[in-house]
């Protein structure tokens, strides 16, 4: 499939207007292109202007200056009615409607196309069935919204956006408040939808790890810094992520391409061994402020014995002081021999 | 297959509901015409309805000029207030909203207070003594008061963003109206205050045959008009942002819904006084029974349910023994409250299962 540039953003300033019509800029000089067939994730801390950007791009909110072009036509030149056929949204607003069935909610996505009473044609119905199938919600179609989990609800809202048949779908933090499997499921679903339907899917999220593993493209929006755009890997190579979270207790691990928490270390200890146990011991000790490494020279040292049952042997100046079989006990020993 | 069964079930439910409420309403309408403080033989009532005459002129008058207009007034008022209540609950996404939530009936009360309470002071004769002319003046005053508040609310609705703000403005307008009424009461003659209090209790008996010629067509047109908002109300339920994204012009729809609900409430209040409770309770009842949020089903549903409950209340208010004089508002609340609680409790049970 040919990659198609759907959104072109030039020198955009976003923000709010005060009562006296003077602008209060949240972010300026935003430049970028959003492509069809790609899942693009917007990352950034709270207050960086992610929601404001999404609202501005959806036409919910007037922009301060600059240009937004959708398929070569300015956003402002579309009427609200037309926009409902170009942009579908999934918002953070929670739909608390009692006795609204999944099918009824998804069918409302067809309302830009249906007539005065909202009667569904057979074409509408087959589009709704397809969307329910794609999101895996076909078996839920007669359930009421109030009986769904947060993850299922989110899939229903995505199905609603799908039946709108728009080239663009914007999602504001679709993975917030979900459990980890649901987060992964939603992200993979959106990635697959972007691939299969050629739609532009653009979402804001705080789930960095997931975004870096699943997104085709990242928009990195930091307070103060310029907006960075690229594939997760390109941004890693240019070291943008490590700058992004400087001093926040998080660092970007260039080996794994993922984020990890920085633990402050107060002690050092020698550890020898290898394998999964070795990695886990170092991780557990690091969390407890102890830097463990084979290169460290210390009186206290830890050996990993793998004959039969796994044993962690603690030496003090070559004298065995303790043998333990799990990490919890090992940590207790380390605390006692401080 | 399961799919077909469920669709069939929901369609069956609405038609069954409309059929049963229609049947029950017809029965209640007949009872309303037959029963009353004066005993009229059943065959005579039948003759009056069919031929327009009976053995005694008094009987004909009672049925044609009192019982039948009262029943029709109750039906129209019940339907109008229930539709207004449903529209307000949907617009504000608030289960406690009713047709009078925007201060519209307070506006009517204020208009009536000016006429009833000030007339005694200004012309020296209490208007309540004027009979028919007084009734017309009260109706006009109530309508003018209600519509003035309606336009104030529409004026604000174009200028404020959130629905919650608008709701608070409506409630504030209501308080302001009540405060002015309080002051008028304080300076008024006792008999005028009594007339005002009685108006405030609501009545289906004040619409004369000649007034019915205005009340009925106006209400029927307004009710048909309110049905046209069904698709928009469905979208509004999702919240303003989702609705706008689906191509709904929020500002326009908000004004149309306020005008529709406001006009229905204003008209009913002008002719019957501020009838409470029906507009709040009927939408809850209907939703509870129909188990849907689709306004294409809910709107006709609340119309039928409103007619049914209002006829029931009118009947109880005029039961032999009460001497035809119980205030409507006491009955609507006394009958309605237990029914609503029952429906809500039943809903709770199904959730826990």
Rounded distance between C-alpha atoms, residue B318 and residue B67, angstroms: 9
**A118/B234 CB distance under 8 A:** yes
Residue A261 included in any domain:
no
CA distance, residue B240 to nearest chain A CA (Å): 9
Return the pLDDT at B102. 86
**B287/A164 CB distance under 8 A:** no
HEC string of chain B equals CHHHHHHHHHHHHHHHHHHHHHHHHHHHHHHHHHCCCCCCCHHHHHHHHHHCCCCCHHHHHHHHHHHHHHHHHHHHHHHHHHHHHHHHHHHHCCCCCCCCCCCHHHHHHHHHHHHHHHHHHHHCCCHHHHCHHHHHHHHHHHHHHHHHHHHHHHHHHCCCCCHHHHHHHHHHHHHHHHHHHHHHHHCCCHHHHHHHHHHHCCCCCCCCHHHHHHHHHHHHHHHHHHHCCHHHHHHHCCCHHHHHHCCCCHHHHHHHHHHHHHHHHHHHHHHHCCCCCHHHHHHHHHHHHHCCCCHHHHHHHHHHHHHHHHHHHHHHHCCCCCCCCCCHHHHHHHHHHHHHHHHHHHHHHHHHC
Chain A residue with CA closest to B6: the answer is: A142
**A60/B244 CB distance under 8 A:** yes
Query: Residue A51's domain spans which residues?
Result: 5-86+166-255
CB distance B276 to B337 below 8 Å: no
pLDDT at B349 over 60: no
* Best residue of B89, B245, B256 to probe chain A, by most A CBs closer than 10 Å: B245
Residues of B with CB under 8 A from a CB of A: 3, 6, 93, 228, 230-231, 234-235, 237-239, 241-242, 244-249, 287, 291-294, 296
Residues A143 and A285 in one domain: no
Return the pLDDT at B14. 92
Cα atoms found within 13 Å of the Cα of residue A96, Cβ hemisphere only: 7
Return the pLDDT at B77. 97
Residues A79 and A18 in one domain: yes
CA distance, residue B313 to nearest chain A CA (Å): 28
Instruction: Indicate the residue among A121, A139, A163 that finishes a domain.
Output: A163
Chain B residue with CA closest to A58: the answer is: B245
Residues A80 and A178 in one domain: yes
Window from A16-20, A121-125, A150-154 with minimum mean pLDDT: A16-20
**A108/B249 CB distance under 8 A:** no
Number of domains forming the structure of chain B: 1
A84 → closest Cβ in B239, B245, B291: B245
Closest of B216, B183, B200 to residue B77, by C-alpha: B216
Rounded distance between C-alpha atoms, residue B20 and residue B28, angstroms: 12
Indicate the SS3 state at residue A146: helix
Using CA atoms, how far residue B182 sits from B16, B115, B197, B245, in Å, is 47, 14, 12, 46
CATH number at residue B126: 1.10.3470.10
User: What residues pair up with B302 in beta bridges, in sequence order?
Assistant: none
Which residues in chain A are closer than 8 Å to B296, comparing Cβ atoms?
117-118
Q: Which helix (H) or strand (E) holds A332?
A: helix A327-336
Which residues in chain A are closer than 8 Å to B228, comparing Cβ atoms?
116
Indicate the SS3 state at residue A245: coil
Q: Which helix (H) or strand (E) holds A327?
A: helix A327-336
pLDDT at B132 over 80: no
A99 → closest Cβ in B93, B244, B287: B287
**Mean pLDDT to the nearest integer, A181-197:** 94
Taking only the tens place, the pLDDT of each residue in A325-336 is: 999 999 999 888
Return the pLDDT at B87. 96
- Tell how strand A73-74 and strand A87-90 pair up: unpaired
The percent of residues in chain B predicted with pLDDT above 70, rounded, is 89
Taking only the tens place, the pLDDT of each residue in A77-106 is: 999 899 999 999 999 988 888 889 999 999
Closest of A11, A35, A7 to residue A216, by C-alpha: A35
**Mean pLDDT to the nearest integer, A197-214:** 93
- Burial of A178 per CB tally in 10 Å (0-12, 13-18, 19+): buried
Which residues in chain A are closer than 8 Å to B245, comparing Cβ atoms?
58, 60, 83-84, 87-89
Residue A262 included in any domain:
no
Rounded distance between C-alpha atoms, residue A115 and residue A58, angstroms: 24
Which value, to the nearest 10 degrees, does the dihedral of the CA atoms of residues B125, B129, B130, B132 take?
Answer: 160
CB distance A337 to A316 below 8 Å: yes
A93 → closest Cβ in B6, B242, B248: B242
Which is higher by pLDDT, B125 or A10?
A10
Residues A304 and A316 in one domain: yes
CB proximity list for A311: less than 8 A, separation 6 or greater = A304, A305, A323, A324, A325
With an 8 Å Cβ cutoff, is A108 touching chain B?
A: yes
Number of domains forming the structure of chain A: 3
Closest of B130, B147, B137 to residue B115, by C-alpha: B137
Window from A7-16, A162-171, A251-260, B201-210 with minimum mean pLDDT: A251-260
pLDDT averaged over chain B?
86
With an 8 Å Cβ cutoff, is A20 touching chain B?
A: no
Which is higher by pLDDT, B308 or B130?
B308
Taking only the tens place, the pLDDT of each residue in B308-330 is: 999 999 998 877 665 556 788 88
Residues A138 and A82 in one domain: no
CA distance, residue A24 to nearest chain B CA (Å): 19
Residues A196 and A305 in one domain: no
Residues A175 and A56 in one domain: yes
- Give the single-character DSSP code of A120: P
Return the pLDDT at B7. 56
With an 8 Å Cβ cutoff, is A100 touching chain B?
A: yes
Q: At what angle do helices B250-272 and B104-123 cross, to 10 degrees?
A: 40
Residues A53 and A111 in one domain: no
B245 → closest Cβ in A89, A95, A116: A89
End-to-end CA, chain A = 62
**Mean pLDDT to the nearest integer, A319-329:** 90
Taking only the tens place, the pLDDT of each residue in A156-172 is: 999 999 999 999 999 99
Highest mean pLDDT among A202-206, A304-308, B52-56, B105-109: A202-206
Residues A127 and A178 in one domain: no
For residue B281, give both structure tokens.
């309770």
Residue A24 included in any domain:
yes
How would you classify residue B82: left for phi > 0, otherwise alpha for psi between -120 and 50, otherwise beta? alpha
- Give the single-character DSSP code of A101: B
Cα angle B7-B13-B18, degrees, rounded to a multiple of 5: 135
Indicate the SS3 state at residue A170: strand
CATH number at residue A79: 3.40.50.300
B245 → closest Cβ in A87, A98, A142: A87
Indicate the SS3 state at residue A261: strand
Using CA atoms, how far residue B131 sits from A271, B138, B212, B215, in Å, is 103, 11, 17, 19
pLDDT at B350 over 60: no
For residue B57, give both structure tokens.
């002129």
Taking only the tens place, the pLDDT of each residue in A262-311 is: 888 889 999 988 888 898 999 999 999 999 999 998 888 999 888 777 88
**B292/A99 CB distance under 8 A:** yes
Using CA atoms, how far residue A22 sits from A16, A47, A64, B218, in Å, is 9, 20, 10, 47
* Best residue of B161, B164, B246 to probe chain A, by most A CBs closer than 10 Å: B246
ipTM: 0.85
Q: Which helix (H) or strand (E) holds A222?
A: none
Window from A15-24, A211-220, B291-300 with minimum mean pLDDT: A15-24
Residues A201 and A302 in one domain: no
CA distance, residue A307 to nearest chain B CA (Å): 55
Closest of B104, B108, B113 to residue B185, by C-alpha: B113
Using CA atoms, how far residue B312 sits from A32, B75, B349, in Å, is 66, 10, 27
pLDDT averaged over chain A?
90
Using CA atoms, how far residue A328 sits from A277, A280, A285, A310, B211, in Å, is 13, 12, 10, 14, 87
Indicate the SS3 state at residue A15: strand
A111 → closest Cβ in B239, B246, B293: B246
Residue A234 included in any domain:
yes
**Mean pLDDT to the nearest integer, B200-220:** 91
**B245/A88 CB distance under 8 A:** yes
A97 → closest Cβ in B6, B248, B293: B293
Which residues in chain B are closer than 8 Å to A86, comparing Cβ atoms?
none
pLDDT at A323 over 50: yes
Chain B residue with CA closest to A79: the answer is: B247
pLDDT at B64 over 50: yes
How would you classify residue A293: left for phi > 0, otherwise alpha for psi between -120 and 50, otherwise beta? beta
With an 8 Å Cβ cutoff, is A117 touching chain B?
A: yes
Confidence of residue A2 (pLDDT cuts 50, 70, 90): low
With an 8 Å Cβ cutoff, is A46 touching chain B?
A: no
Chain B residue with CA closest to A82: the answer is: B247
Which residues in chain A are closer than 8 Å to B283, comparing Cβ atoms?
none
CB distance B142 to B112 below 8 Å: yes
CB proximity list for B281: less than 8 A, separation 6 or greater = B309, B332, B336, B337, B339, B340
Return the pLDDT at B352. 43
CB distance B298 to B275 below 8 Å: no
CB distance A285 to A335 below 8 Å: no
Residues A288 and A276 in one domain: yes
CB distance B114 to B187 below 8 Å: no
CB distance A229 to A221 below 8 Å: no
pLDDT at B353 over 50: no
Query: Residue B343's domain spans which residues?
Result: 2-352
Return the pLDDT at B318. 79
Rounded distance between C-alpha atoms, residue B302 and residue B139, angstroms: 26
CA distance, residue B235 to nearest chain A CA (Å): 7
Residues A190 and A328 in one domain: no
Q: Quote the longest CA-to-CA distance of chain B.
A: 76
SS3 content of chain A, % helix, strand, coil (to 5): 35, 30, 35
């Amino acid at each position: 499939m040919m990659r198609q540039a759907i959104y072109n953003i030039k020198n955009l300033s976003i923000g709010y207007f005060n009562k006296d019509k003077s602008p209060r800029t949240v972010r300026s000089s935003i430049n970028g292109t959003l492509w069809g067939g790609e899942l693009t994730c917007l990352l950034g801390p709270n207050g960086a202007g992610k929601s404001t950007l999404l609202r501005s791009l959806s036409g919910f909110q007037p922009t301060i200056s600059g240009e937004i072009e959708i398929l070569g036509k300015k956003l402002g030149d579309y009427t609200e009615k037309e926009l409902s056929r170009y942009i579908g949204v999934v918002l953070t607003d929670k739909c608390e409607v009692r006795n609204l069935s999944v099918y009824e909610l998804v069918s409302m996505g067809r309302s830009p196309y249906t007539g005065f009473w909202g009667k569904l044609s057979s074409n509408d119905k087959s589009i709704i069935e397809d969307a329910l199938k794609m999101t895996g919600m076909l078996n839920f179609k007669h359930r009421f919204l109030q009986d769904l989990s947060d993850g299922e609800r989110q899939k229903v809202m995505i199905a609603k956006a799908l039946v709108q048949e728009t080239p663009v779908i914007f999602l504001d933090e679709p993975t917030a408040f979900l459990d980890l499997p649901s987060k992964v499921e939603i992200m993979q679903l959106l990635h697959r939808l972007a691939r299969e339907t050629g739609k532009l899917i653009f979402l804001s999220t705080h789930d960095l790890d997931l975004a870096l593993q699943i997104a085709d493209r990242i928009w990195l929006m930091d307070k103060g810094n310029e907006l960075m755009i690229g594939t997760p890997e390109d941004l890693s190579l240019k070291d943008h992520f490590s700058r992004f979270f400087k001093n926040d207790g998080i660092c970007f691990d260039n080996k794994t391409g993922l984020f990890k928490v920085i633990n402050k270390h107060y002690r050092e200890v020698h550890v020898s061994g290898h394998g999964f146990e070795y990695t886990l011991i170092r991780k557990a000790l690091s969390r407890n402020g102890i830097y463990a490494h084979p290169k460290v020279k210390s009186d206290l040292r830890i050996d990993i014995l793998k004959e039969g049952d796994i044993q962690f042997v603690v030496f003090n100046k070559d004298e065995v002081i303790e043998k333990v079989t799990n990490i919890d006990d090992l940590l207790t020993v380390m605390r006692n021999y401080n | 297959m399961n799919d077909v069964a469920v669709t069939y079930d929901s369609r069956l439910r609405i038609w069954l509901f409309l059929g049963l409420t229609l049947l029950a309403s017809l029965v209640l309408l007949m009872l309303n015409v037959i029963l009353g403080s004066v005993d009229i033989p059943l065959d005579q009532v039948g003759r009056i309805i069919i031929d327009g005459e009976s053995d005694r002129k008094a009987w004909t008058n009672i049925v044609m000029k009192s019982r039948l207009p009262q029943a029709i007034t109750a039906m129209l008022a019940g339907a109008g207030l229930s539709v207004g209540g449903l529209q307000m609950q949907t617009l504000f996404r608030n289960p406690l909203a009713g047709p009078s939530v925007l201060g519209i009936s307070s506006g009517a009360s204020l208009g009536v207070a000016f006429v009833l309470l000030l007339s005694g002071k200004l012309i020296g004769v209490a208007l309540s003594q004027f009979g028919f002319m007084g009734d017309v003046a009260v109706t006009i005053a109530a309508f003018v008061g209600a519509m003035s508040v309606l336009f104030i609310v529409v004026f604000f609705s174009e200028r404020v963003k959130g629905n919650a703000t608008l709701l608070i403005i409506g409630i504030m307008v209501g308080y302001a109206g009540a405060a002015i009424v309080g002051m008028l009461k304080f300076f008024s003659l006792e008999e005028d205050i009594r007339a005002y209090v009685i108006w405030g209790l609501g009545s289906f008996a004040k619409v004369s045959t000649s007034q019915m010629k205005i009340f009925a067509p106006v209400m029927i047109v307004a009710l048909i008009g309110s049905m046209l908002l069904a698709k928009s109300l469905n979208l509004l339920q999702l919240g303003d942002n989702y609705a706008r994204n689906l191509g709904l012009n929020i500002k326009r729809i908000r004004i149309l819904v306020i005008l529709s609900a406001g006009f229905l409430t204003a008209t009913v209040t002008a002719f019957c006084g501020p009838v409470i409770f029906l507009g709040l309770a009927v939408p809850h009842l209907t939703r509870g029974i129909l188990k849907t949020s689709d306004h294409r089903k809910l709107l006709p549903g609340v119309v039928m349910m409103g007619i049914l409950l209002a006829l029931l209340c009118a009947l109880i208010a005029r039961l032999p023994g009460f001497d035809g004089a119980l205030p409507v508002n006491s009955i609507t609340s006394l009958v309605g409250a237990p029914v609503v609680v029952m429906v809500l409790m039943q809903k709770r049970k199904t959730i826990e299962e």
